[in-house]
Amino acid sequence: YKMMNYTRPSTIHIVAFFHAKEILHTLKEKYFKEVQDLEVDGQKIEAPQPLSCSWSGNISRQEAVSMIPPLLLKIEPQHKILDMCAAPGSKTAQLIEMLHSDMDVPFPEGFVIANDVDNKRCYLLVHQAKRLNSPCIMVVNHDASSIPRLHFDQDGKKDVLFYDRILCDVPCSGDGTMRKNIDVWKKWTTSNSLQLHGLQIRIAVRGVEQLAVGGRMVYSTCSLNPIEDEAVIAALLEKSEGALELADASPDLPGLKYMPGITSWKLMTKEGQWYSDWSKVPTSRHTQIRPTMFPPTDPEKLANMKLERCMRILPHHQNTGGFFVAVLVKKAPMPWNRRYPKLRHKDVTSSSEAAPAEELQMGESPADVPPADGSSADAPVEAVEGETPAEGNPSVPDTPDLLEVKKDNVCGPPPPKKMKLFGFKEDPFVFLTEDDPIFPPIQAFYDLSPDFPKLNVLTRTHEGKKRQLYMVSKELRNVLLNNSERMKVINTGVKVWSRNTDGEQFGCAFRLAQEGIYTLCPYIRARIINICVEDVKVLLTQENPFLRKLGDDAHNQAKKLGMGSIVLRYLPDPKDLDAPQCPIDLCGWRGKTSIRAFVPRNERLHYLRMVGVEVFHDKQGKRNDGSTEIQERSTEDAEGLSQEADLLEEEGEETEQNGSESNANGTEPVGSTCDGPAS
């Protein structure tokens, strides 16, 4: 209790993406040193320290224990990953960064599909994921307990998509968050876990069904109640009949303190009644209390489960919140998937049965669902679109109909009256064809390399001018093309080009977008200006500097280029250790007599910190170090700027007026994300 009353230390997660080492170096050598001798009320302030176990690392505020589940997934760049209950997205960001462990590869073979049941929280998830600017992330909106099985093309044949890694961070009572969430103290009751237990099993069951054999699923909660933790894992292991194994994950995070999972626990009702065994529960309680909430009674079966391999992280272990984690490895298809022979397409006698038959034909080597005669009452049933799993087995929580809305709104799809098959209808994702007339001017202007993946470029409109162009990885393109009617996609892809109004006069109707610069740069062979650290400072602290303000080398390069969109590239000098030791690519615009970095404000400040420019201001708006203040002009203050800046301003206004495409994509219009005349 004393530990729960202590102030919980704040933790930050440095996203290991592009510039992680440089960010960490800046924090240690500048900001941390500034506070190491600081005293408040006579007490010396301790400088921030790394956590004892090996964490990965732009910067996010994140609960320390919340960082653990993605690390235990042991992700590699080729893995197909499902995050079942993803919002608000801090763990999703970790998954994406691990996928991009090799930053020299713009399109990893793997991808992350991040799902959440709440439509509004999906857009929060989009906002989080968008900061990482990855072409390998897709945000979808489904009930995790009945998330649809997806198809994709494999060697010319349509197959079912099974995931190599699944993060199953389920909704829970949250008693482990008491140190930061005061509401839990007031609202927590013993009945919370009883109400959530069935939902948690349904989500976990749906997860292992979609996990590939040999794959790894991490089940986690921010609760310490065994009914939400070990009881769920025990139910999964028992029903898997050996198909699942609880892995020993302790070697994966050396230095992490925790206590092993427990093998014995009791259950208490809201009224304070205790039960240690299902046989003692009166019949009147069977609707609230289920047999899966108790530990297995067979000692041998319990020992074989190895529940002690679960991890219980208590607040005093690392001065964190409370957390539960279990790592499951799939050794074989689930028994309810392999028990019955597959139905073949030729067995179907009516058109109305064609869709389910196709679903069954493309499942795991055995059938995906048991026969309709009800003989499956002894096993969980996979939820397939258009079908409701069998009910009546007290050992398996009932799976609701796909259109049912949960009373507590914890996990359930949007109301049926607002749905079109699987949710609100979003703007379409339209892939461009290889001979699309958009490509030749872009190809010539930026001299794109022959291996540029044109087929991965998409837009969000069927008709009219294409205003924004996005890119996804090859595998996500595969998923989108084969499942457009099966899933509700909220957002995918990274923006790489934006249309300029009358931009053809500069040679190309599309300018580069900063969000996708690191995705595009490996393919761009023209319109590149190499710059030094001092050039970076000039470009990011002055709104529209004259070309002559650049260093001689960059100035000479700029004079050789015509007007239009450019890449401003900083490459590290190993001899100058005070300068950033990582490459930096900025979108820019080469004007008639001036040059401009077209970078959103938050990234502008990020890069300035990297090159040693202080960006905090006092109340008078002056820089702390006395140097020139960053100019942040509004459109009304931007008089006298060059023709290209006016052009970009016009584009920003037009985007806001026609913002349905951007808004449907979960992002802000172009004009509202950048400094200067386009803001």
Catalytic site residues?
222
Contact present, 198 and 397 (Cβ < 8 Å): yes
Cα→Cα distances 663→607, 656, 659, Å = 27, 9, 6
Contact present, 163 and 210 (Cβ < 8 Å): yes
Structure tokens at 228: 């939400």
Contact present, 168 and 207 (Cβ < 8 Å): yes
CA angle in degrees (0–180, nearest 5) for 429-123-328: 90
For residue 85, say whether it is annotated as part of any ligand binding site.
yes
Beta bridge partners of 163: 211
For residue 87, say whether it is annotated as part of any ligand binding site.
yes
Q: From CA 600, how far away is CA 597, in angstroms rounded?
A: 9
Beta bridge partners of 14: 59
For residue 90, say whether it is annotated as part of any ligand binding site.
yes
Q: Which residue from 27, 47, 26 is spatially nearest to 37, judged by alpha carbons?
A: 47
For residue 576, say whether it is annotated as part of any ligand binding site.
no
Q: Quick one: three-class SS letters along 113-157?
A: EEECCCHHHHHHHHHHHHCCCCCCEEEECCCHHHCCCCEEEECCE
Q: Find all residues with CB under 8 Å of 224, minimum gap 6, and list them.
A: 175, 176, 312, 314, 322, 324
CA angle in degrees (0–180, nearest 5) for 272-278-280: 65
For residue 91, say whether it is annotated as part of any ligand binding site.
yes
Contact present, 326 and 309 (Cβ < 8 Å): yes
Q: From CA 442, how far away is CA 572, in angstroms rounded?
A: 29
Can you tell me whether residue 492 is helix, strand or coil? strand
For residue 86, say whether it is annotated as part of any ligand binding site.
yes
Contact present, 111 and 479 (Cβ < 8 Å): yes
Q: From CA 97, how far away is CA 17, in angstroms rounded?
A: 6
- Through-space distance between the first and last CA atoms of the chain, rounded to whole angstroms: 50
Per-residue DSSP letters for 418-429?
Answer: G-SSSSSPPPP-
For residue 159, say whether it is annotated as part of any ligand binding site.
no
For residue 89, say whether it is annotated as part of any ligand binding site.
yes
Point out the annotated binding site for S-adenosyl-L-methionine: 85-91, 116, 143, 169
Point out the annotated binding site: 85-91, 116, 143, 169
